[in-house]
A and B are shown apart, each in its own frame.
Chain A
């Protein structure tokens, strides 16, 4: 672990020298690397990382920059896109933007890449106002900030209904090497605008990869943002996904996180409600097995009165898999009339699987409605017999029961093709050939 940290620190200067060192971002990166030097990688000694150890994940000889980029064709990536809808696409391969697979625009809005936003003066003001403003200053986020150079840049000006969803997909090919990637997304949605975003990180190789991703999302007044994260990576791929959302008055942000592995997946999600009448909805379905590990660490920070938040995470753990849910809801004294709901329901289908679940409600206002419920259960044997007695074989009955447990989360998915895709992934994870629709 020390090894990787030293490697990162020593390569920073060479990395930064390739960039424009007079730029605004240079100052931010320099500060960030110092912060990373001080904080380092998180360890289990930190309360927030008590149940997730990065030790094994960091113990690979990662390349910090991939030495080659493989040329990919649409057929190579088709399966990892929602390919049956019209969409904007921002596709990266081995850390580099891949224009021939992408479909971006500057027509009335910017759906493009961060490197150009960072290097062109017309974006200076936006970068100064929004870049690295809400991301946390812990070791792992600072590390990303220090090396932030590429990712998606989306700016939707006011009163725009984006005509089709935006898919952001990061591929890694890494034929002969293990690579650490640090993508960075900046998404700004101005007043009255509406956008749908589908995000995915996908390794195409069997080598170990680690993605340390940071996204900053700004939902300005009355904007509506629907965000989907599809995490279904191969078994040697790990992801630390840091997402920060800043919401203004009357905005509505919804995130669905579908976690089916990788090796280790850590979702750090922070939502800041900065004004009144804000809606925040975060939901998740997690289905893992083998030695997979998925950790959802969420924060909803209610700062002002009359806001709602709704969390619903449902998870199924098989074999030796481990799950963590740590849901923090912070309601400040000023945030009266807050409605905060949190549910985390888990099913263990193996004796060796583990879930660590911890709701963490910190409420300083006195006129609020906050509720939380955690459950950990097993398969209902009576329900299983009921289904089998109607002719549904054990495996299919188990799958249907599991699906019934999780599918409430899907009711708020507004893109039918996403729902179908998730249904299909769930069926394959549960080892059955079934259409779950209807």
Chain B
């Protein structure tokens, strides 16, 4: 589904990613771990097409299609979704209106008609139930004045509505207490199936107790320096990132 080959990327002329190779197949969960500043969030931003991030070398293929020059909205239409580390507050636009627009614009891009209002309401209701969200929540402006947990839950709610092929969860656990973490992780697990994939970016191992990865990759200084199964996350938790750093030296 996602193939990343020798990816190099810059922000403001500073090299952040220095040659990343990664392949994610349908049905898999990959965890990207690494210390602060290793390039985890940059990797997510480059995959989703944030304009400040410039690819200088390499390729990102999604379903064998080169994503170079593909706009963020087109990537979304193809099925790429990112749950933001810091979801943006947008006053004046309700979550319902926002997600309806997102769904219908995606359908429009595929040459489909708007989703009938009845189906939309049904889907909103189902996904609220799935994530244990009060429907009143949907008539509030997106993320405006939301707590950290509410924001993250709203991200997963949007993911549930958009049904992406590839979901990238960028530090979804940061700012969450253990109960909120369980709800969010539970939501992700319910949405997971054989046809989609998840890339979990996290600093800590605790989220991986709930969203269990098939593969763990350790990012350090813009490169994947170690890959393994879920046991790698435990090892990291025990030994810390210094263990990796020493290994490189």
B73 and A392: CB pair below 8 A? yes
Chain A window 390-405, contacts with chain B (Cβ cutoff 8 Å), 1 for yes, 0 for no: 1111101100110111
B100: interface (CB < 8 Å):
yes
A308 to B49, CA, bound (A): 49
Identify which of B91-99, B126-134, B174-182 touches chain A.
B91-99
Which A residues lie within 8 Å of B105 (CB)? 391-393, 396
Which A residues lie within 8 Å of B87 (CB)? 386
B93 and A404: CB pair below 8 A? yes
A437 to B97, CA, bound (A): 8
Per the CB 8 Å criterion, the residue count for chain B at the interface is 34
Cβ contact of A400, chosen from B84, B93, B106, B158, cutoff 8 A: B93
A396 to B162, CA, bound (A): 18
A383 to B141, CA, bound (A): 13
Cβ contact of B92, chosen from A386, A397, A403, A434, cutoff 8 A: A403
A391 and B91: CB pair below 8 A? no
**Minimum Cβ distance to chain A for residue B160 (Å):** 13
B191: interface (CB < 8 Å):
no
B109: interface (CB < 8 Å):
yes
A235 to B192, CA, bound (A): 55
A408 to B93, CA, bound (A): 10
A386 to B97, CA, bound (A): 15
B102 and A390: CB pair below 8 A? yes
B115: interface (CB < 8 Å):
no
Which B residues lie within 8 Å of A437 (CB)? 97
With contacts A393-B105, A400-B101, A438-B100 taken as known, whether A406 is within 8 angstroms of B73 at the C-beta atoms is no
**Minimum Cβ distance to chain A for residue B115 (Å):** 13
B183: interface (CB < 8 Å):
no
B196: interface (CB < 8 Å):
no
A404 and B141: CB pair below 8 A? yes
**Minimum Cβ distance to chain A for residue B121 (Å):** 11
A403 and B93: CB pair below 8 A? yes
B51 and A385: CB pair below 8 A? yes
A422: interface (CB < 8 Å):
no
B92 and A387: CB pair below 8 A? no
Which B residues lie within 8 Å of A391 (CB)? 73, 76-77, 102-103, 105-106, 109, 162
Which B residues lie within 8 Å of A392 (CB)? 73, 98, 101-102, 105
B48: interface (CB < 8 Å):
yes
A375: interface (CB < 8 Å):
no
B101 and A396: CB pair below 8 A? yes
A389: interface (CB < 8 Å):
yes
Q: Tell me whether chain B's interface is mostly helix, strand or loop, or mixed.
A: helix
B96 and A389: CB pair below 8 A? no
Report the nearest A residue to B79, measured CB to CB: A391
Chain B window 44-81, contacts with chain A (Cβ cutoff 8 Å), 1 for yes, 0 for no: 00001111000000000000000000011101110001
B90: interface (CB < 8 Å):
yes
**Minimum Cβ distance to chain A for residue B106 (Å):** 4
B82: interface (CB < 8 Å):
yes
B102 and A386: CB pair below 8 A? no
Which of B77, B98, B100, B162 is the most central at the interface, judged by chain A CB atoms within 10 Å of its CB?
Answer: B98
With contacts A386-B88, A386-B90, A404-B90 taken as known, whether A394 is within 8 angstroms of B71 at the C-beta atoms is yes
B72 and A385: CB pair below 8 A? yes
**Minimum Cβ distance to chain B for residue A163 (Å):** 32
A382 and B102: CB pair below 8 A? no
A438 and B96: CB pair below 8 A? yes
Which A residues lie within 8 Å of B76 (CB)? 388-391
Which B residues lie within 8 Å of A70 (CB)? none
A405 to B92, CA, bound (A): 6
A394 and B73: CB pair below 8 A? yes
A393 to B92, CA, bound (A): 19
A434 to B104, CA, bound (A): 10
A380: interface (CB < 8 Å):
yes
With contacts A400-B98, A436-B97 taken as known, whether A390 is within 8 angstroms of B92 at the C-beta atoms is no
Which A residues lie within 8 Å of B51 (CB)? 385
B88 and A388: CB pair below 8 A? no
A407: interface (CB < 8 Å):
yes
User: Which residues of A (322-346) have their CB < 8 Å from a CB of B?
Assistant: none
User: Which residues of A (357-415) have their CB < 8 Å from a CB of B?
Assistant: 380, 382-383, 385-394, 396-397, 400-401, 403-408
Chain B positions within 8 Å of A, measured between CB atoms, are: 48-51, 71-73, 75-77, 81-82, 84, 87-88, 90-94, 96-103, 105-106, 109, 141, 158, 162
18 contacts between A and B (CB under 8 A): A385-B50, A385-B72, A387-B90, A387-B102, A388-B71, A388-B72, A389-B50, A390-B76, A391-B76, A391-B102, A391-B162, A396-B101, A396-B105, A404-B141, A405-B91, A407-B92, A408-B92, A438-B94
